[in-house]
């Protein structure tokens, strides 16, 4: 393996046919380069998707009302109905697997025209009513002030927190908005905070940057929603699958509001845990496809290496015959051919691995620079391959080189010394 003469012979053979060796090695180079780049791109896409939801409670679900599709207990099909405040306590009592439950109101009837005014500034934003517990499901950081608290709920305070875009439009840059007032659909609310979502890619009902959150009870009372609840956000306790908890919640709500058990359309729902699991399966499929394509390209490169080694064996038939005639063992010939094959594929593959890694690094640096300029919702983040993938690729290279050299090596040892010496 470490015979100096053998390595001198290998390098001389490659130098003798530089163009042929370069073209052959390019197939391996391109195969490993594409494998690295594709895996890195897949990881970048995966990181981008998960980055936008990393702080969101993935064991969460949402339910909302829809028109009934089945007549039941004297009620006609197509009945419109609503959740109520009472449902929250009912769910707590009858579904002990629930951890967090947060009712929400969406201000559809007040989200019209320029519904938010401050002095001479007016704009249109989404209005929502929330409980403090919703922050446990969809975390945020407070740029100014504080979040809605339980006292705001119990005392029905006319306060609000606003998204970053609302702050940019309604206030001057650098101005502290806490304690200032906004007129929301004709009613004044004191700003107690500005929030920034940790999960900008998940928007339930509205863009959070362009939203104003009021205390849930205040919004019910001020805008005449009665005891209506538009939808419930909830999480399951640790160890309980969300799909089973969600089924139980839906059954309880159907019974509470006299909805037919067979009515599949009366309650809309969204199971984030299920969606995250589905996304995971999608990326497994993408990675599998990438490996299949990448390894296929490497095999094509290995075929090229194998062919060039067959040519080399044919050119060196007389030399191999002399080696056999003076007592060289078959393994000596085989190891020499395989070593040449592994050397060629490893060098080409290592260069491909280095170039692929360099491309991913350049892309990652460009993405970080864009993020630093305010692009906080990047869909492609930190494309990388990791040490395990790099080592795996290197092992594949060695295996590819061995396989590429086997056929030429077997052909070499089948050459009879007497016939090889007569070869011209």
Tokens of 51: 């980055």
Banded pLDDT at 7 (limits 50, 70, 90): low
In a domain, 76, yes or no: no
In a domain, 11, yes or no: yes
Question: Whole domain around residue 371: which residue ranges?
Answer: 4-54+277-422
Domain end call among 185, 207, 224: 224
37 contacts 385 by C-beta, under 8 angstroms:
no
SS (H, E, C) the chain: CCCHHHHHHHHHHHHHCHHHHHHHHHHHHHHHHHHHHHHHHHHHHHHHHHHCCCCCCCCEEEEEECCCCCCECCECCCCCCCEEHHHHHHHHHHCCCEEEEEEEEECHHHCCCCCEEECCEEECCEEEEECCCHHHHCCEEEEEECCCCHHHHHCCCCEEEEEHHHHHHHCCCCCCCCCCEEEECCEEEEEEEEEEECCCCCCCCCCHHHEEEEEHHHHHHHCCCCCEECEEEEEECCCCCHHHHHHHHHHHHHHHCCCCCCCCCCEEEEEHHHHHHHHHHHHHHHHHHHHHHHHHHHHHHHHHHHHHHHHHHHHCHHHHHHHHHCCCCHHHHHHHHHHHHHHHHHHHHHHHHHHHHHHHHHHHHHHHHHHHCCCCCCCCCCCCCHHHHHHHHHHHHHHHHHHHHHHHHHHHHCCCHHHHHHCC
Tokens of 98: 């629930």
- The CB-side HSE value for 121 (13 A sphere, CA atoms) comes to 11
pLDDT of 206 = 77
Same structural domain, 202 and 335: no
Same structural domain, 299 and 393: yes
Q: Is the pLDDT of residue 96 over 60?
A: yes
Same structural domain, 211 and 308: no
Selection from 4-18, 224-238, 279-293, 305-319 with the highest mean pLDDT:
224-238
In a domain, 67, yes or no: no
**336 CB burial (10 A radius; 0-12, 13-18, 19+):** buried
Same structural domain, 296 and 186: no
Same structural domain, 199 and 281: no
Judge if pTM exceeds 0.85: no
pLDDT of 363 = 83
Mean pLDDT of the chain: 82
Percent of the chain's residues with pLDDT above 90: 42
pLDDT of 387 = 77
Same structural domain, 49 and 169: no
Q: Is the pLDDT of residue 340 over 50?
A: yes
In a domain, 239, yes or no: no
Q: Which residue has the higher pLDDT, 229 or 205?
A: 229
Q: Which residue has the higher pLDDT, 140 or 54?
A: 140
pLDDT of 263 = 92
- Other beta carbons less than 10 A from residue 412's beta carbon: 25
Q: Give mean pLDDT, residues 365-387.
A: 67
Q: Give mean pLDDT, residues 182-199.
A: 93
Q: Which residue has the higher pLDDT, 41 or 151?
A: 151
Q: Which of 228, 225, 270 is nearest to 249 (CA)?
A: 270
pLDDT of 375 = 46
pLDDT of 423 = 47
Domain end call among 185, 202, 224: 224
Beta partners for residue 189, in sequence order:
182
Same structural domain, 120 and 186: yes
Q: Which residue has the higher pLDDT, 342 or 314?
A: 342
Same structural domain, 207 and 288: no
- The CB-side HSE value for 199 (13 A sphere, CA atoms) comes to 15
In a domain, 238, yes or no: no
C-alpha distances out from residue 218 to 105, 145, 158, 180, 286, Å: 11, 19, 6, 18, 48
Q: Is the pLDDT of residue 193 over 70?
A: yes
Q: Give mean pLDDT, residues 158-179.
A: 94
Any idea which residue has 């309650």 for tokens?
A: 267
Same structural domain, 346 and 219: no
Q: Is the pLDDT of residue 190 over 80?
A: yes
Q: Give mean pLDDT, residues 117-134.
A: 93
129 contacts 218 by C-beta, under 8 angstroms:
yes
Q: Give mean pLDDT, residues 235-257.
A: 94
Q: Give mean pLDDT, residues 114-126.
A: 91
In a domain, 156, yes or no: yes
Tokens of 79: 């009945």
Instruction: Quote the number of domains for the chain.
Output: 2
Q: Is the pLDDT of residue 62 over 90?
A: yes
Banded pLDDT at 105 (limits 50, 70, 90): very high
Same structural domain, 212 and 338: no
Q: What is the pLDDT of residues 38-56, one digit of tens each?
A: 888 888 888 877 776 778 8
Same structural domain, 307 and 211: no
Q: Give mean pLDDT, residues 293-314.
A: 70
In a domain, 295, yes or no: yes
Percent of the chain's residues with pLDDT above 70: 78
Banded pLDDT at 341 (limits 50, 70, 90): confident
- Other beta carbons less than 10 A from residue 376's beta carbon: 15
pLDDT of 324 = 58
Same structural domain, 201 and 294: no
Cα separation, 161 vs 179, in Å, equals 11
In this structure, of 69-83, 200-214, 381-395, the range with the lowest mean pLDDT score is 381-395
pLDDT of 422 = 53
Q: Give mean pLDDT, residues 364-389.
A: 68
Q: Give mean pLDDT, residues 213-234.
A: 94
In a domain, 233, yes or no: no
Domain end call among 209, 224, 239: 224
In this structure, of 48-57, 110-119, 221-230, the range with the lowest mean pLDDT score is 48-57
* Residues across the chain: 424
Q: Is the pLDDT of residue 160 over 80?
A: yes
């Amino acid at each position: 393996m470490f015979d100096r003469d053998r390595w001198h012979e290998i390098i001389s053979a490659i130098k003798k046919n530089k163009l042929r060796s370069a073209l052959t090695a390019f197939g391996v180079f391109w195969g490993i380069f594409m494998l690295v780049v594709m895996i890195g791109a897949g990881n970048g896409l995966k990181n981008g998707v998960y980055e936008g939801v990393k702080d969101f409670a993935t064991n969460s679900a949402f339910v909302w009302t829809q028109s009934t599709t089945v007549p039941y207990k004297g009620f006609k099909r197509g009945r419109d109905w609503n959740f109520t405040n009472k449902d929250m306590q009912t769910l707590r009592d009858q579904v002990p697997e629930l951890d967090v439950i947060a009712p929400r109101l969406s201000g559809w009837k007040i989200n019209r025209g320029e519904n938010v005014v401050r002095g001479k500034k007016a704009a249109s934003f989404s209005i929502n009513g929330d409980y403090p517990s919703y922050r446990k499901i969809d975390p945020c950081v407070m740029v100014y002030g504080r979040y809605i608290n339980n006292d705001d709920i119990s005392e029905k305070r006319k306060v609000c927190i606003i998204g970053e875009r609302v702050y940019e439009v309604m206030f001057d840059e650098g101005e502290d908005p806490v304690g200032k007032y906004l007129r929301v659909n004709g009613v004044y609310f004191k700003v107690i905070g500005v929030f920034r979502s940790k999960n900008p890619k998940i928007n339930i009902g509205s863009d959070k940057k362009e939203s104003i959150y009021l205390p849930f009870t205040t919004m019910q009372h001020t805008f005449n929603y009665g005891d209506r609840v538009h939808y419930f956000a909830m999480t399951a306790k640790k160890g309980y699958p969300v799909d089973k908890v969600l089924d139980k919640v839906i059954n309880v709500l159907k019974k509470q509001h006299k909805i037919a058990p067979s009515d599949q359309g009366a309650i809309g729902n969204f199971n984030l845990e299920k969606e995250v699991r589905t996304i995971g399966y999608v990326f497994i499929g993408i990675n599998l496809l990438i490996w299949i394509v990448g390894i296929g390209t490497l095999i094509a490169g290995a075929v090229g290496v194998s062919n060039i080694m067959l040519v080399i064996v044919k050119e060196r038939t007389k030399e191999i015959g002399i080696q056999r005639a003076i007592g060289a063992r078959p393994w000596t010939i085989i190891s020499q051919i395989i070593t040449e094959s592994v050397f060629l594929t490893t060098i080409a593959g290592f260069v491909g691995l280095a170039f692929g890694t360099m491309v991913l690094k350049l892309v990652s640096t460009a993405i970080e620079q864009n993020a630093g300029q305010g692009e906080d919702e990047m869909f492609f983040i930190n494309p990388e391959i990791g040490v395990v993938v790099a080592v795996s690729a290197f092992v594949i290279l060695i295996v590819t080189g061995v396989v590429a050299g086997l056929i030429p090596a077997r052909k070499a040892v089948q050459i009879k010394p007497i016939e090889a010496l007569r070869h011209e």
